[in-house]
Amino acid sequence: MNRREKTKKILPVRGATRIWLAWTAAVLLLPVWSGPAKADQVAIVLSGEAAPYRQAQVGLENCLTREKHTTRTYLLSEAVKKNDALSQQVPVFVAVGTKAALWLHKNVAPPVKLIYCMVSDPEGLGLV
C-alpha cells in the first residue's frame, strides 16, 4: 500500500467534505486579523496544485475579499522566484500546505505576519 492509499484510508475526505474543510480553515483564520492593523494585501502561497490546496485558496479568497482584503495567490515555485520583491510588498502571507509553510518560515522575516493552513504537526516542524 503506497502513501496516498494509506492517507485515503486514514482520512477518507471527499467532495463536499473537502469544500467544508477549506471553508472551515478560512473562517478559523479570520480572527487572526482582528488586531489593530488590518492587512490590505494578503499573499496566499500554495504548496502545489493539489485540489485540497486549491479549495482552501477559494475559501480564503472568498472570506478575505468579504473582509475588504485583496489577495494574490502564488504557487510555491513562483514565490521562490519572487522572494525579495514579494516579502517587501505584502504584510501578510498565508501558507497552504507544509512545503509553503516551511519555505515562508525560513524566508520571510518580521514584521510580516505568517499564517499556516493545512500543515500537519507545525510544532514538530519548528513553525511554532
Whether 127 maps to a domain, the answer reads: no
CATH number, position 50: 3.40.50.2300
Residue for grid cell 489577495 = 71
Whether 125 maps to a domain, the answer reads: no
Percent of residues, the chain, with pLDDT higher than 70: 69
Domain carrying residue 24: 3-30+38-117
As given in the structure block, the three cell numbers for residue 40 are 490590505
As given in the structure block, the three cell numbers for residue 64 are 478575505
- Do 108 and 102 meet the contact criterion of CB atoms below 8 Å apart? no
**Given this model, what pLDDT does residue 86 score?**
75
Whether 126 maps to a domain, the answer reads: no
The pTM for the full model equals: 0.70
Measure Cα distances from 42 to 69, 74, 77 in Å: 7, 11, 18
Whether 128 maps to a domain, the answer reads: no
**Average confidence (pLDDT) over 77-94:** 83
Structural domain tally of the chain? 1
Within a 10 A sphere around the Cβ of 38, how many other Cβ atoms? Answer: 12
Whether residue 44 has pLDDT greater than 70: yes
| CA 115 centroid distance within chain | 7
Q: Cα(14)–Cα(62) distance, rounded to whole angstroms?
A: 21
Which of the two residues, 36 and 49, has the higher pLDDT score? 49
Whether 124 maps to a domain, the answer reads: no
Whether residue 27 has pLDDT greater than 70: no
Whether residue 81 has pLDDT greater than 80: yes
Q: Per DSSP, which regions of the chain are E strands?
A: 41-46, 70-75, 92-96, 113-117
Q: Cα(91)–Cα(114) distance, rounded to whole angstroms?
A: 9
User: Predicted confidence band at 37 (pLDDT cuts at 50, 70, 90)?
Assistant: very low
